[in-house]
Copies of this chain bind each other. A is one copy, B any other.
Amino acid sequence: MKNKITKLFNIKYPIIQAGMVWCSGWRLASAVSNAGALGIIGAGSMSPDILREHVQKCHLNTKNNFAVNIPLFSKYTSAHIDVIIKENVPVVFTSAGNPEIWTKKLKSHGIIVVHVISSLRFALKAVKSDVDALVCEGFEAGGHNGREETTSFCLIPLIAKNINLPLIAAGGISSGKSMFAAMVLGADGVQIGTRFVVSEESSAHINFKKKILSLKQGDTTLTLKEITPVRMIKNDFYSKIETAYQNNVSVDYLTKLLGKGRAKKGMFLGDLKEGELEIGQVSTLLDSIKTASSIIKDIINEFNSVKLKASKF
């Protein structure tokens, strides 16, 4: 299995484990990279010192390439990038911001830069910034997302048609079937988040993992569009957001309601009521906690069997 994405990252399978706040530290990232995919450390929930520790441990635990994801709105962005350069991180995924500011600096240190987008408009900006590849994230994805609400079925072909860069599809992908479908629609590889949150090596709290496995259709929603749109589980905290909307509150009020530490409280500390629980729609299809390596094996096995089946359509 050789294509633009496996060559770009020097990996065996065109699978990327999404960088996720509170869920993807060195343990998950190194396990994924050891299993032939690309693991990502999610720096969004880390101070620069914590990030340094995770990068060093990741280097110790895998000889394969791995990446760090940086949400560009973070106050630590500049310090994170210093850590990344100093600690020889080979690949960086940037998201939630303008890639123009940092891409040149990262690339001048030989770092591969990938940018996450959810619209053609931002994809075109990322191309101008000279990034090496794109992740296009559909409406069904967990966590932060775009305002256009474009689903993977419509977004992947739109970006593939208009942009000539290696393309990684994200949103709604957890299996060999959905990986194959994303590639049919024009992606060269896939980024998988939700499935890896429910892995042995993910640092998500066990309460959160169990909650994910119990989710039914409609149990997640894209909300807080006035701040940054985010897909989360409809729990008690979400009910408060809903009530706030019914009362026509200001953006300031919503920002205060969200407050600080909600994501940590929910995903890392396991407070299912008051925490912010970011996860994708595809959670309804999941029923087990497995090691990252088993997850990747399952995906590749299903990919191969669906490939055979599809040849007979």
A residues neighboring B (CB under 8 Å) = 1, 3, 119-121, 138-140, 147-155, 157-158, 161, 171-173, 175, 177-178, 180-186, 216-218, 221-222, 246, 248, 281-282, 284-285, 303, 306-307, 310-311, 313
Contact = CB atoms under 8 A, between A and B. Distances in A.
A2 B138 CA distance: 32
A151 B183 CA distance: 17
B150 A153 contact: no
A313 B311 CA distance: 11
> How many copies altogether?
2
Given A151-B152, A151-B281, A221-B149, A157 B183 contact: no
Nearest to A186: B177
Residue of A147, A153, A281 ringed by the most chain B CB atoms within 10 A: A153
6 tightest CB-CB pairs across the interface, nearest first?
Answer: A153-B172, A148-B218, A181-B181, A151-B151, A140-B151, A154-B281
Contact of A154 (B147, B282, B303): B282
A172 B120 CA distance: 17
Contact of A184 (B149, B161, B172, B184): B184
Contact of A139 (B120, B139, B178, B311): B139
Nearest to A3: B313
Contacts of A303: 313
Given A246-B248, A310-B184, A313-B307, A120 B173 contact: no
A177 B153 CA distance: 10
A80 B182 CA distance: 40
Contact of A121 (B3, B186, B217): B217
A217 B173 contact: no
A140 B153 contact: yes
A217 B185 contact: no
Nearest to A284: B158
A178 B185 CA distance: 6
A172 B149 contact: no
Given A218-B119, A307-B313, A313-B307, A181 B153 contact: yes
A280 to B, nearest CB: 8
